[in-house]
Amino acid sequence: MTTAHDFSFTSIKGEPLPLRQFSGHPVLIVNVASKCGLTPQYEGLVSLYRDLKNKGLVVLGVPSNQFMGQEPGTNEEIETFCSMTFGVDFPLTAKTDVKSESAHPFYQWIKGELGQPAEPVWNFHKLLIGKDGKALQAFAPTIVPEAPEIRAAIDGAL
């Protein structure tokens, strides 16, 4: 049976980023963008990560330029923006396609697991993966990281 742990991204620094390395940890995977009206959600993601990383939560940011070109920068520019503007200290992937036929294989898999709600419709779409790599839940971009339903789902996964 395929799980999220069977997929690998490329890190923002260009190194392999296998999801298997997060085995035993729930992972909140979020497609992000630097020039979006929802970009301030980085604050909530950083806060969530800092609050729960010692309990095992991993937040993984996946920059994508597929929504009105709101992530136009290079990987280096994205990394600098995230760390300097929001203090992002959770892992980031290289810029990645997250929807349509060109979507990264992880995104194709999770859409198959959770159905249409798992396909990102905008920046800051959130996907929760269990410790065992199983797809647990998708959250719309408008549901902020500090929302009770996200926290409850994460607490349940921890």
- Are the C-beta atoms of 138 and 35 separated by less than 8 Å? no
Report CA-CA distances (Å) from 8 to 22, 29, 127.
11, 13, 16
pLDDT single digits (tens) 95-124: 999 999 999 999 999 999 999 999 999 999
- Distance CA(121)–CA(38), nearest Å, equals 13
User: The whole model's pTM is what?
Assistant: 0.98
Catalytic residue among 6, 11, 36, 73: 36
Give every CB contact of residue 49 below 8 A, 6+ residues apart in sequence: 57, 58, 59, 89, 90
**What pLDDT does 41 receive?**
98
In which residue ranges of the chain is pLDDT below 70?
A: none
**What pLDDT does 18 receive?**
98
- Distance CA(36)–CA(104), nearest Å, equals 21
Which tokens in the block code for residue 10? 């490329």
**Coil, strand, or helix at residue 4?**
helix
Q: CATH says 4-157 is which class?
A: alpha beta
Domain ranges of the chain: 4-157
The yes-or-no answer on residue 82 being catalytic is no
